[in-house]
Amino acid sequence: MILLSKTLAGIGDVDREAGEQAQKRLDSLTKPPGSLGILEEIAVQLAAIQGKAIPVLGQKVVMVMAGDHGVVEEGVSAFPQEVTQQMVINFLNHGAAINVLSNQADARIVVTDVGIKGAAIEHPELNIRKVRPGTRNMVKEAAMTEEEVTAAVEVGIEMVDREIDKGATIVATGEMGIGNTTPSSAILACLTGKDLDLITGRGTGVDDEGLIRKREAIQKALEINRPNAEEPLDVLRKVGGLEIAALTGVILGAAARKVPVVLDGFISTTAALLAHKLNSHCQYYMIASHLSQEPGHRILLEEMGLKPTLQLDLRLGEGTGAVLAFNLIEAAVKIISEMATFEEAGVSNKE
């Protein structure tokens, strides 16, 4: 709890003056003001985060957190639980979508086992920080203890600190955990009070009966555990997931170090809302990569006033949408740093 408390206390506002200087430079470039839309907004945001009128982009890192969920026992997923472990091995063998897209974006993947169920994976590229082998079934009891949820959040803080110390200048959130749209929907329902029919999607592709089971499981979990919506860690402990907790820590840790965080889809943005509830300054360090097919994702983004950069009908997770956004973020940095001003180019501006 000491690390978490220290991290929360270290998250402050961004450098508004640097953002204003970035905006002035953008307005002086050879284009109509604002004509590059979201690219300009990203450049200003990065400048404010870094405290530099012209931001820079160095190492890009994808933080993939993996954990299992006891609620899978309730038939809420189209895939069996062992797929979590199998897909993590696929990540480590560089065979998944996140590997392909990260290679394209020249980003490094850091995979961490926060709570995978089953035999330990032995691989030199896997960070084993297992808090417990999957959460408990939240339909029957709280998913985690107080000690476990704090430990999982602090895993995320420690891992992102390590990568920033190694030179990461921007991080993306990624996850793997069969069944994790169920706890994400439960967290969203608790924190926003929205109707389950509006925020619960099909996840990995459950059929109509599976969707009914999923909503019923969430409703039962909320009734049995009665999480306190005013206490984000209580919500996370009772109806959350280990990898969601770790991603919450990644976001908090990055914000405390003044490093931008690119959010992936529904699960990652659920972690972002929890981080935001723990310290409202966090949202200034977040870039929403895309709008997923999960119905609750739009609500999460609206809750924090975030605008998605892409709309590609993605619903894979892993960090895929966030990595795709890396390319646009890099473009935004190149625009503000390499494009000529009207004066430099000898181009007439206004009459």
- The 3-state DSSP class for residue 339 equals coil
Using CA atoms, how far apart are residues 247 and 63, in angstroms rounded to an integer? 8
- Output the CA–CA distances (angstroms, integers) from residue 143 to 19, 220, 226, 317, in the order listed: 41, 13, 12, 22
Cβ contacts of residue 131 below 8 Å, gap of 6+?
A: 114, 115, 144, 148, 151, 152, 155, 242
Contacts for 45 with CB less than 8 Å, ≥ 6 apart: 14, 19, 260, 284, 287
Residue type, position 101, single letter = L
Rounded CA-CA distance 127/65 in Å is 10
Question: Does residue 318 carry a catalytic annotation?
Answer: yes
How far apart are alpha carbons 312 and 234 in whole angstroms?
A: 34
Residue type for position 213:
R
**What secondary structure does DSSP assign to 168-190, as a single string?**
EEEEEEEEE-TTTHHHHHHHHHH
Query: Cα(301)–Cα(101) distance, rounded to whole angstroms?
Result: 23
Q: Of 203, 166, 168, whose CA–CA distance to 182 is shortest?
A: 203
Of 175, 318, 344, 351, catalytic: 318
Catalytically active residues, by annotation: 318
